[in-house]
Structure 1
Amino acid sequence: MLDALEVDDDDSVSIVEEVEKAFGITLSDAEATACNTVGDLFALVCTKVPTVSGSDQLPCLTASAFRAIRRAIRFRKPTSQIRPDTRLDSVIDGDDHRAWRDYLTSHTGLRLPVPSLQKSSILFAGFVIISGSAILVMGLSVPKLFLAGVIGLSAALAIQYRYGRRTWSEFDTIGDLAREASALSIAQAIRANGSVRKVEAWSALVALVAPFSQRNGDIGTRTRFFTERR
Structure 2
Amino acid sequence: MKDTLNFVGDGDDVDVIFDVERTFGIKLTDAEAEQTRTVGQLYDLIELKRSNAESRTEACLSQMAFYRLRRALKTMGIEGEITPQTPISVLEQIEPPSRAAKWRRLAQCSGLDLPGLETSYLMSGRWPRPSRWAVAVVLGLLGCLWPAFGITLDYRLVLLLATALYFGFVHVWWLMFRTVPRRILTTGELAREAAGVSFVKLTAENTTCAPSDRWFALTAILRRHTGHETGITRQTTFFAEHARPAA
TM-score range (shorter-chain normalised) is 0.5 to 0.7
Quote the residue 2:4 is aligned against: 5
Quote the residue 1:112 is aligned against: 114
Q: Is the 8 A contact 1:87 1:173 kept in 2?
A: yes
Q: Is the 8 A contact 1:5 1:215 kept in 2?
A: no
Quote the residue 1:36 is aligned against: 37
Structure 2, unmatched stretches of 5+, are: 123-133
CA distance in 2 between partners of 1:108 and 1:140 (Å): 56
Quote the residue 1:186 is aligned against: 199
CA distance in 1 between partners of 2:167 and 2:219 (Å): 35
TM-score by length of 1: 0.67
Q: Is the 8 A contact 2:219 2:232 kept in 1?
A: no
Measured at CA, do residues 203 and 95 of structure 1 come closer, stay the same or move farther in structure 2, by a change above 3 Å? same
TM-score by length of 2: 0.63
Q: RMSD of the alignment, in Å?
A: 4.4
CA distance in 1 between partners of 2:17 and 2:220 (Å): 13
Question: Cα deviation per residue 1:158-209 (whole Å; 9 max; x = unaligned)?
Answer: 4335x42321132111111111001112222322222223343234324654
Instruction: Say whether residues 1:219 and 2:234 are aligned partners.
Output: yes
Counterpart code for 1:71: R
Quote the residue 1:60 is aligned against: 60
Instruction: Say whether residues 1:99 and 2:101 are aligned partners.
Output: yes
Measured at CA, do residues 165 and 183 of structure 1 come closer, stay the same or move farther in structure 2, by a change above 3 Å? same
Q: Number of residue pairs matched?
A: 214
Quote the residue 1:139 is aligned against: 151
CA distance in 1 between partners of 2:107 and 2:229 (Å): 29
CA distance in 2 between partners of 1:105 and 1:215 (Å): 22
Measured at CA, do residues 203 and 76 of structure 1 come closer, stay the same or move farther in structure 2, by a change above 3 Å? closer
Deviation at 1:75, TM superposition (A): 0.6
Q: Is the 8 A contact 2:37 2:237 kept in 1?
A: yes
CA distance in 2 between partners of 1:183 and 1:176 (Å): 11
Quote the residue 1:169 is aligned against: 181
Measured at CA, do residues 219 and 111 of structure 1 come closer, stay the same or move farther in structure 2, by a change above 3 Å? same
CA distance in 2 between partners of 1:17 and 1:167 (Å): 30
Measured at CA, do residues 96 and 166 of structure 1 come closer, stay the same or move farther in structure 2, by a change above 3 Å? farther
Deviation at 1:17, TM superposition (A): 6.5
Deviation at 1:69, TM superposition (A): 0.3
Measured at CA, do residues 96 and 25 of structure 1 come closer, stay the same or move farther in structure 2, by a change above 3 Å? farther
Question: Cα deviation per residue 1:48-101 (whole Å; 9 max; x = unaligned)?
Answer: 79753772xx33211111110010010111424311111111234566422222
CA distance in 2 between partners of 1:69 and 1:149 (Å): 43
CA distance in 2 between partners of 1:142 and 1:102 (Å): 44
